[in-house]
Amino acid sequence: RKVLTDRINRIEVSATMAITAEALKLKAQGIDLADFGAGEPHFSTPQHIKDAAIEAINSNFTRYTAVAGIPQVRQAIVDRHASDFKTNYTPEECVFSAGGKLAIFNAAEVLIDHGDEVIIPTPFWVSYKDIVEFVGGKCVFVETSEADNFRVTKEMIEAAITPKTKAIILNFPSNPSGAILPKEDLFDIIRLCHERGIYALLDECYVYLAFDGDIYSGASLTECKEHIIVLGSLSKTYAMTGWRAGFALGPKQIIGAMSKLQSQSTSNTSSIVQRASIAALASSQECVAVMREDYIKLRDRVLEGFKTIPGLTCTVPQGAFYVYPNIKNFLGKGGINTASEMAAKLLSEAHIVTVPGEPFGTKEHIRLSYAVSADVIDKGIERLRTFLGNLK
Ligand code: PLP
């Protein structure tokens, strides 16, 4: 009799987590790594957020709460969203989950049936594919062009729609490319989804880390609300990756189903994290602006560094904290034929941690997270220049 289910065998360990594990082994051997692997802020959680958690513990706010989160945290989420994006969600249209990833997973669980198709533009965040496949759905990838800054258009989506299409997952700013879809393109795609009865899952995990213009959400298109599900996270916005704080906003029926699922799995997210999240969402957003300014400087530093490496090309990321350079000019050299081989060699020989493009759906890129100190960037660029320069 087989031990594991078919559904668990359909998925892989998250590629970014696998790289992190490998890097940790080298670190344990005392090797100094230039680590661009982990997708998390290098900042500490702001003090006022930590204080709220400590206060929650000291006041014994340590018991079970409502499964979907206490009313105050859901109110804080909908208020933040309303004030930033002119949306009109109510607390009943909001569920608080243990991280944005769980919110995406729960949304997939309640929306995707066996055989349902989910459109995913490439490059995409690694977990979408596994989550969709785990719940029995079929991913329909829509290839975008690097020359067009990974832009996805309504026409491209329209061509991928079939009678089985149930949802689309959109993520801007994008992990891994940092690309942002122009507002009109985003709105056109969401209008198309609404007309066709397709759910637009908007992964807004990096929405506040948009650098070069307006910060906008597709959910502002309130006339399409019926088919929009916002999947949000406090992880990146407030440097809270370890706390596990995420949420979904959407139609009551769907949010209710996600809460029901949560009632039979995690129950409520940590009561302490809920209190801390209220502090994050409802107080001054100055800390977010400060971190954003820093990411912009770090992005520019990485791009300046890349310019000193002949053969390496890169789109200009407009948000998040990733760069996605194209390494095709180096493939075929030094026994390196794929992005995975490049990432492996960069780690073992140059001691640079990157993530290969394949799990993000492209073959000629590697991803670097620049949520690191300027020193790490300088050290990493130096190593990259030497390593790539010596490849024959
Ligand atoms: N969505 C994207 C695009 C991400 O990059 C991540 C984390 O890396 C998440 C969602 C999930 O974040 P969390 O589960 O920490 O809220």
Catalogue all structural domains in the chain, each as residue range(s) with its CATH number.
6-44+287-389 (3.90.1150.10), 47-282 (3.40.640.10)
Q: pLDDT-derived band of residue 20, with 50, 70 and 90 as boundaries?
A: confident
Quick check: 100 and 206 in contact, CB under 8 A? no
Which among 69, 66, 77, 127 has a CA at the least distance from the CA of 232?
77
- Determine the distance separating the centroid of ligand 1 and the alpha carbon of 99, expressed in angstroms: 8
| pLDDT value of position 153 | 97
pLDDT at 392 over 90: no
Bond before 123 cis per omega within 30 degrees: yes
The interface predicted TM-score (ipTM) is: 0.99
Nearest CA owner, ligand 1 atom 5? 175
Q: pLDDT-derived band of residue 12, with 50, 70 and 90 as boundaries?
A: confident
pTM: predicted TM-score of the whole model, two decimal places? 0.96
Mean pLDDT of the chain: 96
| pLDDT value of position 102 | 98
| Residue-wise pLDDT tens digits, 320-365 | 999 999 999 999 999 999 999 999 999 999 999 999 999 999 999 9
Nearest CA owner, ligand 1 atom 8? 39
| Residue-wise pLDDT tens digits, 355-381 | 999 999 999 999 999 999 999 999 999
- Determine the distance separating the centroid of ligand 1 and the alpha carbon of 304, expressed in angstroms: 27
Residue 206, amino acid: Y
**SS3 labels along 209-256:** CECCCCCCCHHHCHHHHHHEEEEEECCCCCCCCCCCCEEEECCHHHHH
Q: What is the dihedral of CA 44, 47, 53, 59, to 10 degrees?
A: 160
Q: Which residues line ligand 1 (CB under 6 A)?
A: 39, 99-101, 125, 171, 175, 203, 205, 233, 235, 241, 246
Please, which residues bridge with residue 302 across strands?
none
* DSSP per-residue codes, 87-153: ----GGGEEEESSHHHHHHHHHHHHPPTT-EEEEESS--HHHHHHHHHTT-EEEEE---GGGTT---
CA dist., res. 366 & res. 356, Å (int): 4
Percent of the chain with pLDDT over 70: 100
| pLDDT value of position 285 | 96
